[in-house]
Amino acid sequence: MALNVYNQTSERGFSKYRSYFSRIFRNAKKHVDLKRGTVVSVIFVNDEQIHQINRDYRNVDRPTDVISFALRDDDSEGDYVEEELGDIFINIDAARRQAVDYGHSVKREICFLFTHGLLHLCGYDHMTKEDEAEMIALQKKILDELVSQDDKED
């Protein structure tokens, strides 16, 4: 897997998440169809930036915590060495608020948002209660296997 991490905020310190995201990706491969040469881009943004993205691309006039844009077309043909799966925009402001609300670390929240975005890129959604239950259970399984023992570090 190739993982591109970009920081579009004025804050620093997000490079450490590359290793966490790589571990999550490797674990997710046990549960979802992810090819070896998959490329994912993660972009850290703030409330204002994700609000603009949400408004421009989803016609929703408010910030959100994570947005994924899949680049994969399930109907595409051909053998590719690399498959660009898509982009995951993570709102660091929302991650901080939600970490407080849920009583866990910012690291765990950002890892949760990455996992959530990755599952969206793999075709999972939460438009129905059944789909939401499946997606939440899979997120929990992927994260619990990796992050719970690390949560105390943050």
The predicted structure's pLDDT at residue 77? 46
DSSP, collapsed to helix, strand or coil, labels residue 66 as strand
Task: Return the half-sphere exposure (C-beta side, CA atoms, 13 A cut-off) of residue 93.
Answer: 12
CA distance 79 to 128: 33
119 CB-near residues (< 8 Å, 6+ apart)? 28, 32, 135, 138, 139
Distance of CA 6 to the CA centre of its chain: 13
Tell me how far apart the 2 most distant CA atoms of the chain are, in Å: 46
Q: Which two tokens stand for residue 89?
A: 């925009």
Over 50: is that where the pLDDT of 51 sits? yes
Each residue of 66-101: pLDDT tens digit?
Answer: 999 998 655 444 444 458 899 999 999 999 999 999
Confidence of residue 145 (pLDDT cuts 50, 70, 90): confident
What are the CA-CA distances from residue 69 to residues 20, 72, 97, 131 (Å)? 21, 9, 23, 19
Spatial contact of 92 and 46, defined as CB atoms under 8 Å apart = yes
Stronger pLDDT, 126 or 150, i.e. the higher one:
126
Q: Is the pLDDT of residue 152 over 70?
A: no
Which residue spans within the chain are E strands per DSSP?
Answer: 2-7, 38-45, 66-70, 83-91
- Average pLDDT over every residue of 33-61: 93
The answer to whether residues 121 and 68 touch, using CB atoms and an 8 Å cutoff, is yes
DSSP 38: E
pTM: predicted TM-score of the whole model, two decimal places: 0.87
Structural domain boundaries, residue 143: 2-153
pLDDT band at 146 (very low <50, low <70, confident <90, very high): confident
DSSP, collapsed to helix, strand or coil, labels residue 99 as: helix
Instruction: Report the CATH number that the domain containing residue 13 is assigned in CATH.
Output: 3.40.390.30
Q: How many domains does the chain have?
A: 1
Using DSSP, state whether 2 is helix, strand or coil: strand
Task: Give me the pLDDT at residue 134, please.
Answer: 95
